[in-house]
Structure formats: structure tokens, C-alpha cells
Structure 1
Amino acid sequence: MTVESRGHLNPGAPEVTLDRAPIGLDDLVRWVWTARWDVPPGRTVRQRVLQYPAFNLVTDPVTATLHGPRTGVDVRELAGRSWVVGVLLRPGATPLFTATAPAALRGTAEEVRGAPVAELTAAVAAGDPAATVRDWLAPLADRVTDAGRLVNRACALAESRADVLRADQLAELVGVAPRTLERLVRGHIGLTPLWLIECRRLQHAAAVLRTDPGTALAGLAADLGYADQAHFTRRYRAVLGETPGATRQAARAAG
């Protein structure tokens, strides 16, 4: 099915389709996503994404790489005709794919050895890459540790609980001390618990401004728990590279 990712800041380009599906390995994988594009010669399509705070396994027709999360917008220029298959990993899965410290991979990538690139290429052509990914990763599912599952839960709560605005609140929900949560989250995704919360707020803000550009900024800032509109605007611009007003203006122009 074609879907809209909350992290995808400018969906709707007719040259690009995005599909995603869960594969039943819930401790290991959040979902498998496939992006396909067919851009006429001489043109490019610019895609802006505020990534979920997790690692992605990304396979294209040539290679497979493990991508660390970014704390800013990732911009890709798509041209020609191609595809990628991505696996949005649960945080607890990260140590199973790399010996590199997660913080060292933040905003960068490294090659994944042993990935079934040829098999995934054939699966994309057949229209069912998720089944191939499931067969590839299923043997790893039982290797996620209790600490990894705790970080999985913390990330899920940070994303789903709009009332959680501080890292100590998140630590209390998962039943550990704030310093313990900080150590575990950094050890699995190279980010802080506070960023889990901030990412949720800014992804939500961007989605609201895109789909309902008439939303009052002061009210949105308050709903998201920012001290005031000025604080919200500063954080939004620092991470997304534009002001909330610019996002709203672009949405109005596109509509």
C-alpha cells in the first residue's frame, strides 16, 4: 500500500511512491519500506525527511548499508528510475548489525555484509520485498536483549505519549533511573532520550502545518508543550532548516 510517513516532509510527488509493511518481527523491525521513483530526464525530485530516531537498513540495486539516524533534515535528490528497500529497525536491533558505536554512525552509514541484495532486487521486481526481508532477518529476532527491549519500549512511549515532555518522565514510565535510560538509549541509537521526545514533537508539527496550514502557531506550540511560540520556532528552524511559517506557506502554495 502507498503510505505517507510522518517523517516525510514533502510527500505527494507523483514520480515517487512509498510503500511500507510490518513483517511480524516486532522486537527487531518496525516496518519494511520501499521507495520507487521514475523521474523524467533532465529533472530531479527533492525529498526531505526528518528521520525517526532509529537505524535503517537500506538496500538498492547495488549494495546494502546501515544508516544512522540524523537530528536534522535529510535531503535526497532523486533522478532517473530506481528503487530502495529500507528496514526501519527497532532500537534493540542495532547491536546485531554493527560493532560500531551508534553515536559514531549518527548521520552516516556503513556497508552491511551478507545482505541478500540480488534476492531483494528480484523481490522488488516481483512486488514482495517484505517476505525476502523477513526470511533474511528472522534468525536474529531471538537475539534482541532485555536492554534492547527496554529501549524499544522507551522509544515507542516517547513517540506515542504526547504528555511526555521530559526525559525523567520517560524514565519513570519504563521503570529505570534517568541516567540508566540515557546510557541505554545512547548505547543503542546514539541519541538522547530527550531527542526521542523532540523528534516526535517536530514531526507532528511539520505534519500539522503541511495538512492544515491555517493552524495557529501559538496554539500549536502550546499543544506540543513548548514554552512559547518563539521557543517552538527556534527549535523548528534549528532542526528542519526553515521556520514554521515557511512550511505553512509552502503547503498553501502546493494546495
Structure 2
Amino acid sequence: MKIYDNLRKGAMGDVEDLRGILYPTRLPTFHREPAPAELAELIRWFWIPRWAIAPGRSSRQEVLPFPASNLVVQPEMVSIAGPTTAISRRDLTGTGWAVGALLRPAALASLGIDPQALRDREEPLDEPDLHAAVCAAMGGPEESAARRRAVAEFSSWARVRLTPPDDEARLANAMEELISTDRSMMRVEQVADALHSSPRTVQRLAHRYIGVPPLAMIRRYRLQEAAQRLREEPQQSLADLAADLGYADHAHLTRDFRTVLGFTPRGYRGSDQ
């Protein structure tokens, strides 16, 4: 079980990681807060945006989401958003906030939700106690204190509502963490070998606990890193970037980038990020 221990340490990584956020300069106030250690097998982190957009204006947020599900509390509702197969867009207007939890694979199983049914969908979730507690916490005047209270209330709910993972759920967590952190993982067979498992088992775990195939998970994490590198290292050649991320050549990277995001790496690099 040593691989589980190592990967659980990785799950507590840097919450300032901006993977998936395509245009950081357009963000409203946005914070990621670590989950308490006892919830690390169930929640990767909490994310909390708050915005105040001038009347008559809007702010378009474009995100390449993690291949995972999110449990989200907003003033009007609690919802569960499943894994997506493409870029996610939302136009923010007026004032508002959200408190979301990026769920680990084991958490979705704990809620008894089929991730396949949630793919590319967001559904309301009947959790009135969670909604009331987080709304009350976010109502305070001091923003950082409100965030801390909201995370504390969300965590208290999760301790009661979510059950500890069994061995299979831990293996699903390990699979997801391995794919998200090891850029050499480009094929399902590599993931299976690293987990001392079989490709069939990896496929089954992805189907049951995540809702997208393992190869789609691999491509999503590599594309997230590609976008981040294009922002942070604008002088790096596309050929070198493709090689670093395990692509055969930059044409394959460009194809995946265009298919999922709708534009090329060169187009993204030249955009207002």
C-alpha cells in the first residue's frame, strides 16, 4: 500500500496551482483552500470565487476543468457538477460568490452518484444543511474570515456526510493522482503497470469513479499543463513543449488542443491571458 501513502501526500499539494484556469487575469477574487488532512482522500481542495461586476458589464470565465466532479454551494442552491469533455464557460454578472469542493474519485462513490450520468451536466443536490451553513459563513463582512468559516462549515458537513474510502476507492484515487502528477503517463497500460494492476481494472475504475475514460483523463491533465506552460514560458518552442508532455510531436499536441479548447496553442499564446 506504499503507493497510496505517496500519492496521498501528493494530494495535499500546492493549492495555488492554476492549472485549468485559462485566463487568470480575468478572474474575480479567487482562492483555493486546502482540505483538512482527514478529508484529503475525499476532497482535493476548496475553491472560492467572489465577484462584483459593474452594472451592464460581464466577465467571461473560461476553464479547462479537472477530470473530476465538483460539489458547489451558491446563494441560490447546492449542485453537483460532473466531469466535462470540453472547455467550460460562464459569464459572471452582478455580485456573487461560490464555494466549491473539487472531489476526489472516492467522494463521488461516497455520495452514491454515478459519474457517467453527470458527464457535461450540473444537477441540483438536496443538501439544505450544507447550503444554510455555507451561506451564513459567507455573509460576514471580512472576506478572509468568511472563507475560513465557509471551509470549516463545508468540512464539518463532509465529515458527517462522506464515508471513508474502501480499498477500491483508494485505488481509484491513486490512479487519478498518478495521472495528474506524472507527465510520463501517456497510455493506459503505463498507468496499469504503475498501479500493479491491469488495463481492464484501470478502465473500470475510471468508469465507476470518475466518469470519463482514463485516456481522456491523461489528455486533460496534459492539456492543462500545456496551457499553463504556454502562459508561463512563452519562449519555449511547441516542439519542446510537446516532447516534455509526452506527445509524439507538436502536431499531435496542436490537434488535441484545438479539439478540446477550440483554438491552437499558437492562438492561445497570442491571446490576452
Q: Aligned partner of 2:124: which letter?
A: E
Q: Are positions 1:187 and 2:201 aligned together?
A: no
Structure 1 residue ranges (4+ consecutive) displaced by more than 6 angstroms after TM superposition: none
Q: Are positions 1:22 and 2:22 aligned together?
A: no
Residues 62-113 of structure 1, C-alpha deviation per residue, up to 9 Å, x if partnerless?
Answer: 11000001121001100111001100000111122244x3112101022211
Following the alignment from structure 2 to structure 1, what is the Cα–Cα distance between the partners of residues 160 and 63? 31
For 1:147, the equivalent position in structure 2 comes to 168
Q: Aligned partner of 2:72: which letter?
A: V
For 2:117, the equivalent position in structure 1 comes to 104
Q: Are positions 1:229 and 2:250 aligned together?
A: yes
For 1:208, the equivalent position in structure 2 comes to 229
Q: Are positions 1:12 and 2:25 aligned together?
A: yes
For 1:51, the equivalent position in structure 2 comes to 65
For 1:113, the equivalent position in structure 2 comes to 126
User: Which consecutive unaligned segments of at least 5 residues does structure 2 have?
Assistant: 1-14, 141-145
For 2:269, the equivalent position in structure 1 comes to 248
User: Which consecutive unaligned segments of at least 5 residues does structure 1 have?
Assistant: none
For 2:79, the equivalent position in structure 1 comes to 65
C-alpha displacement of 1:140: 4.0
Which piece of structure 1 moves more, 131-140 or 211-220?
A: 211-220
Residue aligned with 1:86, SS: strand
The structure-2 alpha-carbon separation of the partners of 1:67 and 1:215, relative to structure 1 and needing over 3 Å to count, comes to same
- Matches for 1:156-195 after TM superposition, within 5 Å: 156-195=177-216
Residues 113-170 of structure 1, C-alpha deviation per residue, up to 9 Å, x if partnerless?
Answer: 1242121111123312110011000124543221111110111111111221111111
In the superposition, the TM-score normalised over structure 1's length comes to 0.93
* C-alpha contact (below 8 Å) 2:172/2:206 kept by paired residues: yes
C-alpha displacement of 1:243: 0.4
How many residues align structurally? 250
Q: Aligned partner of 2:66: which letter?
A: Y
CA RMSD of aligned residues (A): 1.7
Pick the aligned partner of 2:97 from 58, 64, 83.
83
